[in-house]
Structure 1
């Protein structure tokens, strides 16, 4: 694919689905749909987010034991926050909400039931959602030039305003790994910061941060979707570093970030 006809981002495909692109951009994407199977498959995946919630959950409800489900539904607010699909996609940076609606909503509903019954680590659910999203990333997702130091500082400043942090390019830099972008997402009505990087050997990785009142926790590790995760928290925020870098090196990178962000 040459630079004159680049692969569209998830945000561009979401805008195409919502009818928000110019005629020129529509023509460009439609030309790609006929010549690039990956773009066509990605559009089909994102388009599934337009399914009605009731329709999407019918197979799950039909397969569940009725007596158990009836008891559990009393504690799971499935319809507590109805919202238009378009609002959900755009509110969570397009692709993330599409991912949630098309592939994660049912899992999160079941996770919500289990969390309330078994009361596991309350921070595990947001890590699961982030892992689902990052698993979709490829090197092409983060292709293109990296932002300048000034642009990095500007992107990080927008995160600071919402999360009550003070992040600098130096504080979130990872040795030998390219900073690609910092963006603000949303999880359960709370701002979620995602700082994306591209490792030349293992591909995408991300540092994600949310507000948290679980208290200070030392770094721990886990595996999700074939990726390594190092997670920790301080008095006000929870952090996770996720990617396909070997776990020993991932722990070193996480410890470096932890020290710089707590200084």
Structure 2
């Protein structure tokens, strides 16, 4: 419990909202709120700001993390954690918490204004999805598949690695792409087996690998019907997954693995050379 007597009312009410006051101070503020309309209004503003800030922070946590930052954290400590500790070490705990809440409350009040409401309404009403939104990229579907299958323990694959010859025959005839199963053991990946998937109504082969830490990687490919020259390797991040795509002959390929792994490009190039 915190003692807030003598501090600004905003700070005391922030502690009141968080349930961090001794019973005597809570009773004192209850009495103040019962008789003071301005105090009640300030309490409601702080509560609105807290709800708004919590929602914004929750949305922020679900945004994709920049690939460079993920890999910097994976490879070793950076300066950010130490800076954060230094930056907050000299701030009173309650002050450090209440000012973001007040800022968020101010934003709430701004959004309640008629002008901002009109702008927001106009923006929503005039948005028209482009034609590209109608067709979902096949690699996005494959990423969704990967998140589901990677959690499987006993049924990670349809056909195990011990039946490698059958896998090559089965998937080549199903997908229409001749291939060899890449040996990625020098990269620390063990071949586990294969699955047959479907994306955008077309069959997709999936070769599944596991690293020493138990992370699941997959090479997926489908026939694209074109005779384009091989593209450069292109890497994108989708949440906790990273996808490296490339073209070879008349097929499209993607390597999927943890976004924190800095070696995905190298693994993809190794696989592309032998698949």
User: Shorter-normalised TM-score: what interval?
Assistant: 0.3 to 0.5
Give the TM-score, by structure 1 length: 0.48
Higher relative contact order (CA 8 A, sep 6+): 2
Give the TM-score, by structure 2 length: 0.46
Structure with higher Rg: it is: 2
